[in-house]
Homo-oligomer: A and B are copies of this chain.
Amino acid sequence: MNVLKTQKIRVAVLGPLGTYTHEAAHKVFGDGVEYEERQTISDTFQAIQDTVSIAVVPQENTIFGNVIETYDALRQTGCGFVKGEITLQVQHCLLVQQGVQLHEIEKILSHEQALGQCQDFLNTHLPNATRIRTPSTASAARSLLTSPRNCAAICSKICATLFDGLEVLCTGVQKEANNFTRFYIIVRDREVQLPIGPHRAKSKGLLRLWVPPAPASGTRQKDIVQYLSPSGLSIMRIDRRPSDGGPPFQSVYFVETTDIVGGGSEEPPTSDSWTTLLEEAVSLIRKMGGEVDLIGVW
């Protein structure tokens, strides 16, 4: 049985176990894989270069926006390849040691994004409590085990069952019920297959496109719209980060595209034809002088 266990595919998630990333990964891969907890998003990306086949990282939350650490990793050459997405509804809870009342709480521990999502609740009910950032929501819960009773954690409900001695004091403490997080499934390179089937036709792609700032001379330089327009790709979303190094406020764009290229009645292309379409678009943008990479197909 041990032999079988070591052969299980390993999936790295932002740990410790009990985070929303773990919950999202479990939604797709279930119990058929082994989950490895990693301390930071950067470590989770590093894992696919080292020991595991697959990593799951948060990409965006509807309230708090893009996850900067994930985009900073995707900005690097050799960051891995996006092979899928997962969307999860987030329901934050206020966890405490058993019996602790709201008025006793003086410190709130959680991940920065969760603190941001719950700031209305915290400003109203715990305006004087100090907010302390932790690497994850689940590590905030775990910290409670060794903290004074005046501490509380914001995390997923599942943490109350993972850690003995904790209980849920309030549920749904986030700003909006309409709170979703979207995750990317990352692999080392595009040849790695996900252990989920049957394989459906691919329909999305992710391009990374550097666009230099306009030169001081005032000559027009190609902008992102001019690079993308001739490709004929249907653009789902464009996200931007300042590029790493170079002049301030230079841009790197992350462009998600879909296979809806024509009218409504058209059949979606097969995986092969979609990948070919994406590669042709990349090639066209490069011919125009654009610095572009295909960093995801799913």
Contact = CB atoms under 8 A, between A and B. Distances in A.
A53 to B, nearest CB: 27
Size bin of chain A's contact surface: 35 or more
Interface in A92-141: 112, 115-116, 130-133
Copies of this chain in the oligomer: 2
Interface in A202-220: 213-214, 217-220
A44 interface: no
Interface of A is mostly: mixed
A229 to B, nearest CB: 4
B131 A242 contact: no
Interface stretch (A22-30, A166-174, A186-194, A258-266): A258-266
A71 B65 CA distance: 10
B220 A237 contact: no
B234 A214 contact: yes
Contacts of A132: 130-132
A77 to B, nearest CB: 19
B241 A65 contact: yes
A251 B62 CA distance: 10
Given A218-B264, A238-B238, A240-B238, A68 B60 contact: no
Contact of A224 (B213, B238, B249): B238
B182 A217 contact: no
Question: Which of A213, A234, A261: most chain B Cβ within 10 A?
Answer: A234
The 6 residue pairs across chains A and B that have the minimum distance between CB atoms: A219-B264, A223-B235, A180-B248, A229-B229, A225-B228, A62-B248
Given A224-B238, A238-B240, 10 more contacts: A62-B249, A63-B242, A130-B132, A178-B248, A182-B248, A218-B260, A219-B260, A225-B225, A237-B240, A238-B238
Interface of A: 60, 62-66, 68, 71, 87, 112, 115-116, 130-133, 178, 180, 182, 213-214, 217-220, 223-226, 228-229, 234-242, 245, 248-249, 251, 253, 258, 260-264, 266, 268
